Amino acid sequence: MTQLIDSGWLSTARRVESPNYDERPQDTEIDLLVVHGISLPPRQYGGPEIEAFFCNCLAVDEHPYFAGIAAVQVSAHFLIRRDGELVQFVALGNRAWHAGQSCFNGRECCNNFSIGIELEGCDDEAYEIAQYERLAELCCVLMNNYPGITSERVVGHSDIAPGRKTDPGQAFDWNYFRRLLAGEKR
């Protein structure tokens, strides 16, 4: 499948623009991919809540959990749904608000130089094969467009914010994902 990037938007992704982004620092090279896990409400999949959350439209009265997060302004560049659907929220040249307080190889503020990819899921429930396949495909496209991103520079949120974040969690099969990224089949 051919995927083109036009003005920072991937041609094969469904576009849902989030207001939660800003400009990257001038002359910043994008050279890191951060894999996250999210489900809203926790452990529930397939609904519109993640998109609403990233667009500051989460209905607080729909679930008790939402009251504690509704005022939080976050986003990611991409979301990969359980069925493999790819949604893009922020243009790649802009800084999405996904990593928070973070550090990679001594560099603080990972949002400045990274692309955030959310997987619909949670730390201790297996992710779907369609998600791994879409993630590997997306990573290859991004690596081809951003030479500073190598397979060693695809990390979990837990790697850049240890002790604060645990996603994508122990259920994420890094070995399987790395095999897919290297071009191996199931």
Please give the full DSSP string across 40-98, using - where no structure is assigned.
SSTT--SSSHHHHHHTT---GGG-GGGGGTTT-----SEEE-TT--EEE-S-TTEEES-
- Per DSSP (E only), the strands in 73-186 are 78-80, 86-88, 94-96, 103-104, 107-108, 114-120, 154-156
Half-sphere exposure of residue 67, counting CA atoms within 13 Å on the CB side?
3
- Secondary structure of residue 20 in the 3-state scheme: coil
Active site residue 85: no
Spot the catalytic one: 17, 49, 51, 118.
118
Catalytic residues: 118
